[in-house]
């Protein structure tokens, strides 16, 4: 990955990958929405409300996956000093936050007809709420220091501390009595969900993944431009400061 530490090389790679991701996002989203609303049957217990799953489950997978990506990028930045790793983690944070908010909102909408309540303090829901606070804390940490390097390192440490919550999210349905059912997709024995529901779900996960990739690349490019602008302003200010000191 150090090959892409050069900002110019990364920019060229991002420009080549972005159109592919846009096409993948558009096609998979169109296919996923069609299959979700017209190609999949209502559930025999949940009825039409099961269609919330096609937004809720991909969002939940993205919010945990993006936090894992953010933590991995943070570790890479702290250990190997990769110059773009902090930027990748910072770009992933708002995307993961948006997916986390969607997860909580759709989960509440889904829970009302199924469980008779908008919210329940069970292990899975509480740990996802904690995930949201970790995202907020990470983004706030970037703005807590005027020095970019200190802010990046502090935010990276917080991201790594929050990895433990990912474990709780994953195994909460097994550790505690919860309203959530055990894993039915990512499990050792293979998915237990019927193919008529699995395929639209897979298409929506692919669309969410492509969108997340696009937003991360866009965020990193914006961050690179901000760093270049700060560097340019510092370089322009340096001679003026020196000249004024000489006059004194």
Q: Is the dihedral of CA 166, 206, 53, 192 positive or negative?
A: negative
The tens digit of pLDDT for each residue in 17-68 reads: 999 999 999 999 999 999 999 989 888 778 888 899 999 999 999 999 999 9
Q: Which helix (H) or strand (E) holds 68?
A: helix 53-80
Name the DSSP letter for residue 239.
H
User: For the residues 62-87, what does the mean pLDDT come to?
Assistant: 94
Q: Which of 8-12, 20-24, 152-156 has the lowest mean pLDDT?
A: 8-12
The tens digit of pLDDT for each residue in 167-204 reads: 999 888 777 777 776 666 666 666 778 888 899 999 99
Tokens standing for 127? 């740990």
User: For the residues 131-148, what does the mean pLDDT come to?
Assistant: 95
Tell me the chain's radius of gyration from C-alpha atoms: 22
């Amino acid at each position: 990955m150090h090959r892409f530490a050069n900002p110019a090389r990364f920019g060229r790679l991002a420009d080549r990958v972005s159109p592919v991701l846009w096409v993948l996002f558009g096609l998979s989203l169109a296919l996923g929405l069609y299959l979700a609303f017209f190609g999949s049957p209502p559930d025999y217990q949940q009825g039409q409300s099961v269609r919330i799953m096609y937004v809720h489950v991909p969002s939940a997978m993205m919010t945990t996956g993006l936090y894992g990506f953010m933590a991995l990028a943070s570790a890479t930045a702290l250990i190997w000093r990769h110059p773009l790793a902090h930027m990748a983690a910072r770009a992933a944070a708002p995307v993961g936050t948006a997916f986390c908010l969607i997860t909580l909102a759709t989960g509440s909408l889904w829970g009302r007809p199924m469980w008779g309540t908008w919210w329940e303090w069970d292990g899975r829901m509480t740990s996802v709420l904690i995930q949201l606070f970790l995202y907020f804390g990470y983004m706030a940490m970037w703005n807590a220091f005027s020095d970019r390097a200190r802010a990046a390192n502090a935010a990276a440490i917080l991201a790594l501390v929050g990895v433990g919550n990912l474990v709780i999210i994953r195994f909460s349905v097994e550790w505690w009595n919860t309203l959530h059912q055990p894993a039915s997709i990512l499990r050792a024995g293979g998915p237990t969900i019927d193919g008529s529901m699995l395929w639209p779900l897979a298409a929506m996960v692919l669309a969410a993944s492509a969108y997340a990739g696009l937003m991360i690349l866009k965020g990193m490019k914006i961050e690179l431009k901000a760093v270049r602008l700060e560097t340019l302003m510092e370089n322009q200010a340096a001679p003026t400061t020196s000249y004024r000191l000489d006059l004194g």
